[in-house]
């Protein structure tokens, strides 16, 4: 058995809003720099993307590998159903892909630019049944986001997937939730949790910004299926953004981003008095509506959840520059990754003294990040949250007071625990 760091939800070249660099060789190269071993292909139902994937992957004993840079891939895609619920699925081989294409073609358009994630005139139950009959596995994508998720439109997995609900073995959490929040809902305790990037560009501050560490004999579909269905203890770590960085974490106006307690939003009839924009219910408040538990509780197989901040974002804060794509940030990022092998190693494993030999200010920020000296101006209404890395415990306590009016979501809820409090 070996542990593999996996990002199991990305999009390809033919999805809307994706970078022109979302091609397999580039994805494979950038995955190695990030420290990822296994990626989803994404968008495998799209004919143009399918041909691209076939061209660049070689198969051996059920493993699909991009030869030039050596990253492994699993055949995967995302579907939007008739209720605007998104689902991600994984397939064992290209024959099963063709079977799905044949069966799904009658429900909607699959091919052409902008159709990487097709919208099908079919229910979640129909889609899941067809995927399962083809030998695949399926579950809800970004399960809590306000617009295109199972819990934005349904109160349970059962009410969404109906007769196929017992075959749903995993949930993708999305950027605005973590294990703490998701496990407040009792139904979720039987499911594996996936943390994935949903990346639309291949650069390491996007790809792998959330990932899952899985113990497998080999990085292939049959192993993933076994883990999700009956050996969930082989998921060793969920890694992702603190939910407060998610752009829909708080209930907030989608125009001016003012945050509101849920009870205030209801009284205001979901209309912002400041700018007349629409107030959108946040992930946190939606989960609390559905929650059975009022304090932290997890099934025995659930791994720890590590909140992480992309290395480029930490470097930007350390260098006190505005743009994450600035030359100073990118040069420092490449220097660190070249020295220590990958972004994940640099963030999590490399001794601080070694990082300080390259850049002392970045080393101090990484040390503060590891010591959980981080505050967040929580996101909401479509605006991402903002991490604030404090230089000391005294600095953290001072900024807590200075920023107390903007750190929370506008209610008395105290927020999730940090990794150090688990």
Residue 71 lies in a domain: yes
Q: Which of 210, 226, 244 is the last residue of a domain?
A: 244
pLDDT at 267: 96
Q: What is the pLDDT of residue 405?
A: 78
- Is 130 part of any domain? yes
Please determine, for residue 414, whether its predicted confidence score (pLDDT) is greater than 80.
no
Residue 182 contacts residue 98 (beta carbons within 8 Å): no
Q: 60 in a domain, yes or no?
A: yes
Domain boundary among 244, 272, 289: 244
Whether pLDDT at 421 is above 80: no
> Is the confidence at residue 416, as pLDDT, over 70?
no
Co-location of 51 and 192 in the same domain = yes
The percent of residues above 90 in pLDDT, for the chain, comes to: 89
Judge if 220 and 363 occupy the same domain. no
pLDDT above 50 for 336: yes
Residue whose C-alpha is closest to residue 172's, from 93, 79, 291? 79
Asked if 228 and 322 sit in the same domain, the reply is no
For residue 155, what is the domain's CATH number? 3.20.20.140
Domain extent at residue 318: 311-377+383-407
Helix, strand, coil abundance in the chain, percent, nearest 5: 40, 20, 45
The reply to whether 91 falls in a domain is yes
Whether 278 is in a domain gets the answer: no
Instruction: State whether 230 and 372 are in the same domain.
Output: no
Q: What is the pLDDT of residue 410?
A: 63
pLDDT confidence bin for 418, thresholds 50/70/90:
very low
Tell me what pLDDT residue 411 has.
44
Provide the angle, in degrees to the nearest 10, between the axes of the packed helices 124-133 and 94-104: 150
Helix (H) or strand (E) holding 157: helix 157-161
* pTM confidence score: 0.91
In a domain, 249, yes or no: no
Average of per-residue pLDDT across 318-328: 91
Structure confidence by residue, pLDDT tens digits, 355-366: 999 999 999 999
The share of the chain scoring above pLDDT 70, in percent, equals 97
Task: Please tell me the total count of domains within the chain.
Answer: 2
- The mean per-residue pLDDT over the stretch 317-324 comes to 90
Within a domain: 297: no
138 & 213 share domain: yes
State pLDDT tens for residues 39-95: 999 999 999 999 999 999 999 999 999 999 999 999 999 999 999 999 999 999 999
Element spanning 318, H or E: helix 311-319
Q: So what's the pLDDT on residue 419?
A: 33
* Last residue in a domain, options 188, 212, 244: 244
Over range 297-316, report the average pLDDT. Answer: 94
Residue 322: pLDDT band (50, 70, 90) is: confident
Verify that 75 and 169 share a domain, yes or no: yes
Those residues whose C-beta lies under 8 Å from the C-beta of residue 241, and which sit 6 or more positions away, are: 175, 209, 210, 307, 308, 309
Task: Judge whether 299 lies within some domain.
Answer: no
């Amino acid at each position: 058995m070996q542990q593999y760091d996996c990002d199991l939800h990305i999009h390809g070249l033919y999805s809307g809003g994706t970078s022109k660099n979302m091609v397999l060789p580039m994805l494979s190269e950038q995955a190695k720099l990030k420290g990822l071993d296994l990626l989803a292909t994404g968008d495998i139902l799209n004919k143009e993307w399918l041909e691209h994937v076939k061209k660049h992957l070689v198969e051996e004993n059920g493993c699909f590998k991009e030869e030039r840079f050596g990253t492994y891939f699993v055949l995967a895609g995302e579907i939007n159903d008739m209720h605007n619920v998104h689902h991600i699925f994984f397939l064992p081989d290209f024959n099963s892909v063709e079977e799905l294409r044949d069966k799904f073609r009658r429900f909607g358009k699959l091919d052409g630019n902008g159709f990487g994630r097709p919208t099908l005139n079919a229910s979640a139950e129909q889609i899941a049944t067809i995927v399962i009959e083809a030998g695949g596995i399926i579950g809800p994508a970004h399960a809590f986001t306000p617009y295109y998720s199972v819990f934005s439109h349904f109160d349970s997995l059962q009410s969404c997937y109906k007769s196929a609900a017992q075959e749903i073995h995993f949930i993708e959490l999305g950027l605005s939730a973590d294990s703490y929040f998701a496990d407040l809902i009792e139904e979720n305790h039987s499911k594996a949790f996936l943390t994935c990037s949903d990346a639309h560009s291949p650069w390491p501050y996007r790809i792998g910004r959330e990932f899952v560490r899985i113990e497998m004999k080999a990085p292939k579909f049959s192993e993933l299926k076994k883990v999700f269905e009956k050996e969930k203890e082989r998921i060793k770590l969920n890694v992702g953004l603190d939910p407060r960085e998610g752009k829909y974490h708080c209930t907030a106006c989608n125009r001016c981003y003012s945050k509101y307690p849920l009870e205030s939003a209801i009284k205001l009839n979901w209309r912002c008095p400041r700018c007349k924009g629409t107030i959108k219910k946040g992930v946190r408040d939606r989960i609390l509506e559905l929650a059975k538990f009022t304090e932290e509780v997890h099934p025995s197989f659930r791994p720890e959840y590590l909140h992480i901040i992309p290395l480029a974002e930490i470097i930007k804060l350390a260098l006190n520059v505005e743009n994450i794509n600035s030359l100073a940030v990118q040069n420092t990022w490449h220097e660190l990754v070249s020295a220590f092998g990958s972004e994940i190693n640099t963030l999590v494993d490399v001794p601080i003294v070694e990082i300080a030999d390259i850049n002392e200010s970045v080393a101090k920020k990484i040390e503060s990040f590891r010591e959980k000296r981080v505050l967040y101006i929580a996101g909401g209404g479509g605006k991402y949250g903002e991490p604030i890395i404090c230089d000391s415990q005294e600095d953290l306590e001072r900024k807590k007071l200075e920023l107390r009016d903007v750190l929370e979501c506008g209610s008395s809820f105290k927020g999730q625990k940090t990794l150090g409090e688990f």
